[in-house]
Chain A
């Protein structure tokens, strides 16, 4: 029909168009205008779900199984409203945790476990590879039909270098490498790829609608006529619901496709990784089901029309879509249909391969490489390069493997059957993911065992039979069961032979999976890391804001190491930029030589996760972070400790404050004590000195009296004896005063407090000394200006003060002494003045110190013992009063005041505090 060249020209022309679209969008994105940031584009990219399976296979499926093909689209449409619940959560988690693929997602959820990531990757590879290969098959067979060759291509005959499919595969690989591995950050959105996929979605839909319209309205006279003719041809079973068995099938198929739309690597890639705005889901929730409706609108008419129109066997039902334009010689329509199918295939291959290559690099190759410290050390600087080349090689590897699979296996199966087998493989992730985002107990061992268990059942019930069909394995397994055990037949486990093999495989693999996941999760003890992640995933909407703060982390890292690590992947410039962003957003400043805080380590790890996957990032980060494993108990311990430390710290702070105060007090006290000690020494030395004076006299005269008994006159003897008695009295007085002062000092002195009439007390005191003053020829003026009031005081002590002051005054006065007493503001004020020469100003501050003379050791004041004033001060202080000396109008003026309202209780304590000993 067409020459090879024209078909190839248009095929590669179409690819070139994709290139152009991708290139143009990336250019626009660089200029700041992201075309993909639109909800409709997002919904269209989800339509990568519709592959050649839909494009060709749905018709094929409808032609054999009737309406059942719809289940594959009913599932996604039914679950679309739930996206708001599930998808939004997965997207939020993935953005926050910088998830790069579905393997990364699962590995991340279960403690960033390497094994789990690897297993998921392997399952994806094995599950999706056949699926990819059927795309190649779809393209290749349609290509051959277009050429006019028989629909059953002579695959094995043509060597691969003559096979167009091979070159198409290479072309696709190139495209994928170009637009899929530009950016090292796997979480970064592939603007060009997204736009190309969106375009493809439109293109395949239009092409399919066009051929549907052609078949319905040009080949036949409308849809109704097709159904009429089909009914006549005995095909009514295909478009009527059967009563028996099919509800089960419908249920399981819908469930299967629900899981597929969420967890197929390419779906995950488009709906989660390439999502630029969570709100786009809102639109996709109705737009995507609408797309599915449109693309399935003409499946039934084409299938029935094909069955009616084409003699059985002339065309495979999978190729009816293309067969009609060819049969009616609509060359250009046929080419359009071919390109539509090609677009369906390329979309799937490109996205799927990007997703798989990311998984291979991030969850398989990198962790394996990075586990070797030797490798890490040697390739520190080119890890970024290694990573990106791993992805490129993986893309080529996957596409080539798919091509090989197509050449050797896929050719013998229908599109849908292989697609469904893939779906079942992918469905094995459902328990781990759904459980992972809603159930905190979900544990690593459970997820791992569930996936592996499910995968084994999948392999046994769905893959082994295909190998039997292709002749790799003996057929007896199918008919007799494993080791001849009947209930172990791959299509009839436990005797369930009535189910379709897909439903059967799905049911058993998923049951085992869920059972293992649930049971082991309940039995398992999560590590803290896992628990941490579980909490983050399940409560993502709580955590996404405060992520960095909730990290419980034990270990230390240097900023330098972290920087080096980051720059080995993203380059120095970007590293600096990223750290700057961190500083800005957290307000923490980073110091080169400092240990970094957990928030930055966490931030770096998430950043790396976006590039090399969570598990690898964990390895990388832990290579620079001296991190210690922490168990849940330890976490609780740390939390508790932190609490305790905090309160302990507060307590310590308070204590240290108290200690500081106590120390200061002690220092003060010590100083006071030392001073007191010194004063005490001085005091003792002064006291002994003062004692020696009377003793000297006593001794001298005693000796004289003793030795010159006879020669002394009676007068002399009497005089000397008199002196001895005087001096003895002097000593007694001194001793009394010392003891007095000591009692006051130590606070042991007690006042004999009584309510007394002040006036009479004062009068008595003055009178008792008036005579002495008069004898000295001094004039005493007394002015007691008091009412007859009573107040509480120690009468004897106050008298003692007055006598002491009066006696001092009389020693210095030249002519006059004044005594005044009055009440002023609740204070009794007593003033004693003399007209003596006064006290030198510099000595005033010390005048009330005991043995004031001691300060000036060699010149002695002619006043008594030097203890009188000190005792006066004590007595007045004990009465809560004041005593002072000043020079007024040429007079020396001693004045004391004591409050009338005397409060006894305070006295002693005050005294004890101010007079320490």
Chain B
């Protein structure tokens, strides 16, 4: 069972992702902002984190750095509405393994996340 952490401040998006990954057999943790995400990471390190960027309190970049500092092996996927090329570059520079933009196709998202793990 792969542990996945999903971080997003939009409840409905969170809900849809939780549903998708649970169905795929993941152990799903959710967090509604960066702070919450970091708390979870401190307690139980997931294999993969799906991360929004624009969130209250602590933004996605901070969380990504935090994770990579803690454990380089944890895969980080940015899933964000920010789709400008500068945003993508910045996201990858921060250490993310994958940068995906909203809105997404469910199948596509799952496939890419799976590929990342294997």
Contact = CB atoms under 8 A, between A and B. Distances in A.
B10 A693 contact: yes
Nearest to B79: A696
A704 B107 CA distance: 10
B30 to A, nearest CB: 14
A703 B55 contact: no
A859 B20 contact: no
Contacts of A726: 12
A649 B58 CA distance: 65
Interface in B47-80: 53-61
B16 A701 contact: yes
B104 A697 contact: no
A574 B60 CA distance: 92
Given A859-B59, A860-B9, A862-B56, A693 B17 contact: no
Interface in A792-825: none
A697 B13 contact: yes
B56 A699 contact: no
Contacts of B105: 699, 703
Contacts of A698: 103
B8 to A, nearest CB: 9
A862 B52 CA distance: 15
B61 to A, nearest CB: 7
A597 B59 CA distance: 77
Interface string B1-42: 000000001101101110110010000000000000000000
Contacts of B102: 692-693, 695-696
Nearest to A701: B16
Interface string B75-105: 0000001101000000000000000001111
A692 B13 contact: no
B13 A689 contact: no
Interface in A434-451: none
Given A693-B81, A701-B16, A727-B12, A859 B56 contact: yes
Given A693-B13, A696-B13, A703 B106 contact: yes
A837 to B, nearest CB: 13
A861 B56 CA distance: 6
Interface in A693-741: 693, 695-701, 703-704, 707-708, 723, 726-727
A857 interface: yes
A423 to B, nearest CB: 111
B37 to A, nearest CB: 14
A859 B58 CA distance: 7
Contacts of A857: 54
A858 B59 contact: yes
A722 to B, nearest CB: 10
A858 B54 contact: yes
A704 B105 CA distance: 10
Given A689-B81, A860-B56, A704 B19 contact: yes
28 contacts: A689-B54, A689-B81, A692-B102, A693-B81, A696-B13, A696-B81, A697-B12, A697-B13, A697-B16, A700-B103, A703-B105, A703-B106, A704-B19, A704-B20, A704-B106, A708-B23, A723-B15, A726-B12, A853-B54, A858-B55, A858-B60, A858-B61, A859-B55, A859-B57, A860-B54, A860-B56, A861-B56, A862-B56
Interface of A: 685, 688-689, 692-693, 695-701, 703-704, 707-708, 723, 726-727, 853, 857-862
Given A696-B10, A723-B12, 16 more contacts: A685-B84, A689-B54, A693-B81, A693-B102, A695-B103, A697-B16, A699-B105, A700-B13, A700-B16, A700-B103, A703-B105, A707-B106, A727-B12, A853-B54, A859-B57, A860-B54
